[in-house]
Amino acid sequence: MLLGIATAFNVTAEQAFIGDIAGAGNIRKAVALNNIINQLSRLIGPALAGWLIASAGITLAFWYNGFSIVISIICIFIIRSRQEIKKSDDSGLKQFKEGLSFLRNQRLLRLIILFAAIQTFFGLSIVQLLPAYSTIVLHGNAKTLGQLVGSAGAGALVGIVFVLPFVQRIKRPCIAIGGSVVWAGIWYLVFSFSRNLPLAMICQFMASLGAANVLTLSAGLTQELTPAHLRARVLSTFLMIIFGLQPVASYLVGRTADLIGINITMLINGGSMILLTLVLLGIPKLFKLRASVQIPAFKNPGM
């Protein structure tokens, strides 16, 4: 619970700060670069953790993980921004309401957040089943889990580095993000039928190609389509929905897997992602949505 509270503050500030440093014209590139670093660590970390747990035990792995946070703190202190932040006299609650009011008038932003919510609720929740899947279905151990998570990290990294630049060229954001959700859902369906490690790793890799693009595009476009003075408020709403859905989805997917089985649960989640996204993309008014927010000029702060 304490980690979740701290993360809620940290991620919101981190994402807003990325936009402040990069400037309005480079937000999507900066968000993508940030996610590349995250996915690279996601690729290396699980494999290293699986080896460390198998050889030295879980306790030492937690100690190393906690110590790694010191590096992040040092990096934060190194960054020097010359941006002047104007303090608002309005209460935090009023500022939050202003962000919600802005979202109510932006159908494209609402749809972007909805696609990200679908990916989070049905896609990311499958990650919670991987430990049980590694043990029960694949009859493996911590190393097996590390290979699965590492494969997902590799797919996300390849997706952001090589696939994202092509996806960003699509003029309609709904097609770009919605198509990525459908792609991930298809591979989660295939994953639900896998019974061996090589196929499971391929499915995790391919699904993450789309999943990473959904969250990267959603976070980048949310910032790009939001005026600078509202960015943190809208981001807080975006992240509240994403992080708020995760524990609910994790609980539901765990209970469902206990009742009907891990593979059937994965099948339902993948099918739901595809069905809900295709329904939304089939609505003509949503299909044709384009950006409607004019972003004011922004001066790049120094480092």
Report pLDDT digits (tens) over 12-43: 777 777 777 777 677 777 877 887 777 677 66
H helix or E strand, kind and range, residue 273: helix 262-281
Query: Which CATH number applies to 2-78+105-287: 1.10.3720.10, 3.40.50.620, 1.20.1250.20, 1.10.287.70?
Result: 1.20.1250.20
The per-residue pLDDT for 294 is 40
**Sequence ranges of the domains in the chain:** 2-78+105-287
C-beta contacts of 190-195 below 8 A and 24+ residues apart? 191/126, 191/266, 191/270, 192/263, 192/264, 192/265, 192/266, 192/267, 192/270, 193/263, 193/267, 195/137, 195/138
Q: With a cut of 60, say whether residue 298 has pLDDT above it.
A: no
Q: With a cut of 60, say whether residue 302 has pLDDT above it.
A: no
Question: What's the DSSP call for residue 302?
Answer: P
Tell me how many degrees the CA angle 51-55-58 measures, rounded to the nearest 5: 80
Write the CB contacts of 271 (distance below 8 Å, at least 6 apart in sequence): 185, 189
Average pLDDT over residues 238-243: 79
Report pLDDT digits (tens) over 86-129: 666 666 677 777 777 888 888 888 888 899 999 999 998 998 89
Do the beta carbons of residue 192 and residue 270 sit within 8 Å? yes
Q: Residue 28 is which amino acid?
A: R
